[in-house]
Amino acid sequence: MLGKLIKYEFIATARLLIPVYIAAIIFAVLTRLFTTPNFNIIYPNGSYQDNFFPELLYGLFIFFNVVFIIAIMVISFVIILQRFYTSLFKDEGYLTHTLPVSTDTLIWGKLIPAACWAIASFMVMSISIMITTSFLWWDTINFTYAMQTIFTAIQIAVQEESFFIILLLPLYSIVGLLVGILGFYSAMSIGQLVNQYKILAAVGAYFFMSFLFSIFTGIIQSIAFYTIDSEFYFGQYGLTLFGASITLGILLFQGIIHYFIIRYILKNKLNLE
């Protein structure tokens, strides 16, 4: 049943997000094709003159392309939150909560597509930036040299036994993304407990929980790094791995707290009014 929920969620959100992605890529291509960073007209005698119209056109294309890039993240963020809220806490929730699925399935059915769309938005944004600024690096980067540099860095990391730290980076990114989404979901779940000013209550809950978690993170890191001579016990490499593990553990703890807040409210404190 989880697969069906994920499929339905992708269908419901794709019709809103895919057109935005396509428009952003098309506009980035148009920006690259019809603009140039060289605004001077060179005459046969060696003199030159500023060409105002291409400069203005280039500035407008860049401005609207930046707007598109920002819009990708904003629209994705709004749609992710809107889908969670309307599907579980508004009129659509009456149908959603009659489905023969567990509360955990409902949460993961929203969380997985949200994380996928967040990653897709970041990729589209990156591609748009690369296309728009391709004149800066297309003729200057030696891709063979770049690949050699990457492989050399990996070899050095393996030799220095820091390869596990590199492997932690994708895991840290995925966990951080999921925890970030769960943080917004839990704040929205708390906000719907009140009968009025639900959005204001959700915003307040989000900032309050962020404040508490920042204090908690500071305390744990202080205990871990300042109450013992960490470098003496772990060494330089071990200290870095220890710090990365502590940060990842704190993220996981935050995610668990957010998850159980959402789960408890959906199971016991649901308010669809």
CB of 4 closer than 8 Å to CB of 96: no
Segments of the chain scoring below 50 in pLDDT: 39-50, 137-141, 230-235
pTM above 0.85, yes or no: no
- The pLDDT, as a whole number, for residue 53 is 56
pLDDT at 232: 47
pLDDT at 49: 47
Helix pair angle (52-89, 103-132), 10° resolution: 180
